[in-house]
């Protein structure tokens, strides 16, 4: 078992099998290579650094919010993460929270890709796409805003 201190979640006790390795880190945080994914409410979670209590990213499954979200993984990424159908792949995107919910954004340009079986992860940057780093998450639909 591993004890992790988290500014957001307090003290966590997780098994070695729950650790996710990012061999090259996450861009901007290359020196941090071990994280744990902590579900908060079934929609959002934290990707918490094992060695730095203050380093955690709010993440979500982008397909919950954007069912048409899609991209192809390059052969290089598939090889690097040793991905295959029998290992399982998970995708999460980093959320930038805002006290005004309509200003909360999601980074669809640089998703986190996980090899579930091998507990490996990598943040990739999509090429030749219209996705951006700041897509609004909580825009009211016309029916919610009172329009018919």
Q: Which domain holds residue 103?
A: 2-136
- Whether residue 148 is contained in a domain is answered as no
Q: How far apart are CA 60 and CA 125, in angstroms?
A: 17
The predicted pLDDT at position 15 comes to: 92
- Whether residue 147 is contained in a domain is answered as no
Domain count of the fold of the chain = 1
Establish how many alpha carbons lie within 13 A of residue 55's alpha carbon, considering only the half-sphere containing its beta carbon: 15
Q: How far apart are CA 105 and CA 88, in angstroms?
A: 27
- Whether residue 81 is contained in a domain is answered as yes
Average pLDDT over residues 12-31: 95
- Whether residue 22 is contained in a domain is answered as yes
The predicted-structure confidence for 59-109, as pLDDT tens digits, reads as follows 999 999 999 999 999 999 999 999 988 888 999 999 999 999 899 999 999
Collapsing DSSP to helix, strand or coil, 75 comes out as: helix
Q: How far apart are CA 95 and CA 104, in angstroms?
A: 7
Q: The CATH number of the domain where 102 resides is what?
A: 2.30.290.10
The predicted pLDDT at position 63 comes to: 96
The token pair that represents 22 in the structure block? 């990012």
């Amino acid at each position: 078992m591993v004890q992790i201190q988290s500014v957001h979640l307090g003290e966590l006790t997780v098994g070695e099998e729950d650790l996710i390795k990012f061999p090259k880190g996450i861009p901007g945080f290359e020196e941090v290579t071990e994280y744990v994914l902590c579900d908060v409410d079934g929609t959002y979670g934290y990707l918490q650094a094992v060695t730095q209590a203050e380093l955690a990213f709010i993440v979500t499954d982008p397909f919950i919010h954007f069912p048409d979200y899609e991209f192809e993984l390059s052969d290089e990424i598939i090889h690097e993460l040793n991905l295959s159908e029998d290992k399982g792949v998970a995708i999460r995107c980093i959320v930038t929270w805002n006290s005004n919910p309509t200003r909360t954004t999601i980074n669809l340009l640089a998703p986190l890709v996980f090899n579930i079986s091998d507990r490996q992860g990598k943040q990739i940057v999509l090429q030749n796409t219209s996705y951006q780093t700041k897509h609004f998450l909580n825009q009211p639909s016309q029916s919610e805003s009172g329009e018919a």
